[in-house]
Structures are given as C-alpha cells and as structure tokens.
Amino acid sequence: MKKARFTTFAWICLTILLGLVSRKISYLPLWIGDMLWGIMIFFIIKFIYINKPNRIVAARSLVLCFIVEFSQNYQAEWITTIRKTLPGRLVLGQGFLWSDLLAYTVGILLVWAILNHYKK
C-alpha cells in the first residue's frame, strides 16, 4: 500500500508540474491544462481512496471537478478575492466554461482507461 501511495503521489506531482508548464507554453491550447487539472484531481482522489476501484475514483473525480467548475458561477466578494490570488486561481479557477467540463471529462476518462489497460 505504501508503494501505491508513493507512486500516486509522484503522479500528482508530475501532473501539477505538467499543468503549470502547459500554461507557460503559448502554442499549447488552454484545454490541455484543464485536462491535466482533471487528471490531477483523479490522482488526488486515488491517493485518498487508494483501495477504491478506478471507476469509483473516476466518478468522484468527475463530480468534484464539476462542482468546482459550477462554483465559478458563484461570485460573492469573499470567494472572488480568493480567486484573485495565484493559489485561488489554480484551485478554484476564474470563470465557468462548458469546455472545461469536457476537458476534465476527457482527462479523467483518459487516465482511467490507461490504468485499466495496464491493470490487466
């Protein structure tokens, strides 16, 4: 179990790094970073629920991503202030986009499919 958690933590770190780098490369479309954000959420949920099946992890990840994205429609002053900070922007985002939901879904399904392929 320790090895699985360590490996999952390494995937979280790598995904964060790739996501941050993707925002610095101007020719990469923005949806790549959004897709990586969904993948990162998958690995974070997997880290927390290390023994849960990947389909459960994928479903929970998708729900969390959708909650965060839809929460961007909430524009109270206190949360808008948080979103103006770098950590707030990275975690909570800035504005609702339907395309982000698609990017999260593609990213989560991609990592789920890859893990299921190598699980067999």
pLDDT in tens, 10-56: 999 999 999 999 989 999 998 999 999 999 999 999 999 999 999 99
How is 85-119 classified by DSSP, letter by letter?
SHHHHHHH-SS--HHHHHHHHHHHHHHHHHHHHHH
Residue 92's pLDDT band (cuts 50, 70, 90):
confident
Distance (Å, whole) CA 87 – CA 83: 8
pLDDT at 112: 97
| Dihedral sign (CA 41, 44, 46, 49) | negative
Domain around 74: 2-119
pLDDT at 111: 97
Identity of the amino acid at 117: H
**Residue of 65, 30, 33, 59 whose CA lies nearest to 46:** 59
Q: How many domains does the chain divide into? A: 1
Mean pLDDT within 76-86: 89
pLDDT at 118: 83
CA 49 vs CA 58, 66, 74, 95: distances in Å = 11, 19, 29, 29
**Residue of 72, 65, 96 whose CA lies nearest to 57:** 65
pLDDT at 75: 86
Identity of the amino acid at 44: I
CA geometry: angle at 22 spanning 18 and 25, to 5°? 135
